[in-house]
């Protein structure tokens, strides 16, 4: 086997694994989006979208653009990030929670930006994900509760958690 043949074969295997990694993480992200929306329970209203992990966003389905890695072409074997736009009101007020997902053995580790890590085994069930949904929900709720207390105590204005908000006036960084 020539060096070129060996390189081409090795890179082919690498790309097959990169495609597998992306497809698995994308499927996991879709399950998290749907499960979190069911967990929040806003009835017929869409309450969670997959959005880009950084930059401006609107509350809509972004498809391929919601992920830090493209679905096709040469891809790295690396963690994949995505954002969850979560509805805050019955109106059109949203925030983005950024997640990073990576494979470790036969499990996937999902980390909330600057937060806790969770391990998932495939296939997922809604029940196995409940502690994760509890954490995301508490993460968001506690941020607002903390801000209310800071305001009441005269110490508001902290930008510690790094949520991004989107509403009728466009994206706003917090």
User: Which residues fall within 8 angstroms of residue 100, CB to CB, at 6 or more apart?
Assistant: 53, 79, 80, 81, 110, 111, 113
User: Residue 164 pLDDT > 50, yes or no?
Assistant: yes
User: Residue 156 pLDDT > 90, yes or no?
Assistant: no
Separation between Cα atoms, residue 98 and residue 32, nearest integer Å: 12
For CA atoms 166, 169, 171, 173, the dihedral sign is: negative
DSSP 169: T
Q: Beta strands 117-121 and 164-167: pairing type?
A: unpaired
User: Residue 22 pLDDT > 90, yes or no?
Assistant: yes
- What's the pLDDT band for 82 if we cut at 50, 70, 90? very high
Average pLDDT over residues 81-102: 94
- What's the pLDDT band for 173 if we cut at 50, 70, 90? very low
Radius of gyration of the chain (CA): 19
DSSP 25: H
In this prediction, residue 53 carries a pLDDT of 96
In this prediction, residue 158 carries a pLDDT of 55
- Model pLDDT for residues 110-127, shown as the tens digit of each residue: 998 767 888 888 777 777
């Amino acid at each position: 086997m020539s060096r070129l043949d060996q390189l081409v074969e090795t890179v082919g295997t690498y790309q097959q694994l990169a495609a597998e990694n992306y497809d698995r993480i994308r499927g996991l992200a879709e399950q998290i989006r749907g499960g979190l929306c069911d967990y929040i329970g806003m009835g017929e209203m869409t309450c969670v979208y997959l959005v880009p992990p950084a930059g401006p966003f609107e509350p809509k389905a972004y498809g391929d653009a919601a992920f830090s890695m493209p679905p096709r072409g040469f891809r790295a074997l690396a963690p994949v990030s995505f954002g969850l736009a979560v509805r805050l009101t019955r109106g059109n007020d949203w925030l983005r929670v950024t997640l990073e997902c990576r494979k470790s053995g036969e499990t996937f580790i999902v980390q909330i930006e600057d937060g806790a890590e969770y391990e998932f085994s495939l296939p997922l069930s809604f029940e196995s994900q409940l502690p994760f949904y509890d954490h995301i929900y508490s993460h968001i709720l506690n941020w607002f509760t903390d801000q209310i207390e800071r305001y009441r105590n005269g110490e508001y204005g902290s930008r510690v958690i790094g949520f991004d908000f989107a509403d009728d006036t466009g994206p706003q960084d917090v």
